[in-house]
């Protein structure tokens, strides 16, 4: 119990700047690890480093990257990057400290169901996947395809399930209803109908 209190105090005492920098560095490190593992896996499987994409495929890749950047820009209209990084810090601090999911622990945001959140529950992860897939097509570099697949698996089976349990604990039935109506990453339904149009 004493360790829990110490970790809880540390979690509350870190400044916003510290949190933003730490999460940014961890995200970059995870990207580097995913890319490194993809390179090793690609070599192990004997996959070619490039597939010889024609120029039109590379142009499509550039368009996909631009779509990912626009999607991210649209996301930041509804959740500023600082808020996203801070809530990410709090969520992972909860995991490390063993804090109950219901505890807000410095998270003050409300449930956002507008903008890109009308189409997917995790628009940040969708934007990252679009960027990774677009970079693969643009640069014709096979490890980037494997990186995209690793990120998809990481988001789908590790990060999103924990985050959704936390959001259900924080927002209750409102989040459960939202989750029933909105897909996780790929906007296969038109939109969440209970929200006002943008």
- Radius of gyration of the chain measured on its C-alpha atoms: 19
| Confidence (pTM) | 0.81
Do residues 178 and 113 make contact, with C-beta atoms less than 8 angstroms apart? Answer: yes
pLDDT beneath 50, residues of the chain: 1-11, 195-198
147 CA to centre of own chain: 14
Read off the pLDDT of residues 126-164 as tens digits, 9 standing for 90 and up.
999 999 999 999 999 999 999 999 999 999 998 899 889
Q: How many C-beta atoms surround the C-beta of residue 96 within 10 A?
A: 10
Token look-up 């990252």 returns: 128
Alpha-carbon gap, residue 89 to 26, rounded angstroms:
10
- Domains of the chain by start residue, with CATH: 2-181 (1.20.120)
């Amino acid at each position: 119990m004493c360790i829990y209190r110490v970790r809880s105090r540390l979690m509350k005492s870190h400044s916003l700047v510290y949190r933003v920098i730490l999460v940014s560095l961890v995200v970059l490190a995870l990207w580097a690890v995913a890319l490194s593992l993809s390179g090793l896996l690609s070599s192990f499987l004997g996959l070619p480093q490039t597939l010889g994409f024609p120029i039109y495929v590379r142009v499509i890749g550039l368009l996909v990257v631009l779509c990912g950047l626009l999607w991210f820009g649209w996301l930041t209209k509804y959740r500023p990057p600082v808020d996203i990084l801070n809530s990410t810090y709090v969520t992972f601090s909860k995991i490390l400290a063993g804090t109950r999911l219901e505890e807000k622990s410095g998270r003050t945001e409300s449930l956002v169901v507008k903008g890109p959140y009308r189409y997917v529950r995790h628009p940040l992860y969708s934007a990252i996947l679009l960027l990774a897939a677009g970079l693969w097509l643009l640069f014709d570099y096979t490890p980037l395809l494997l990186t995209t697949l690793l990120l998809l698996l990481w988001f789908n089976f590790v990060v999103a399930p924990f985050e959704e349990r936390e959001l259900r604990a924080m927002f209750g039935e409102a989040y459960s209803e939202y989750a029933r109506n909105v897909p996780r990453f790929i906007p296969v339904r038109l939109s969440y109908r209970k929200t006002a149009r943008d």
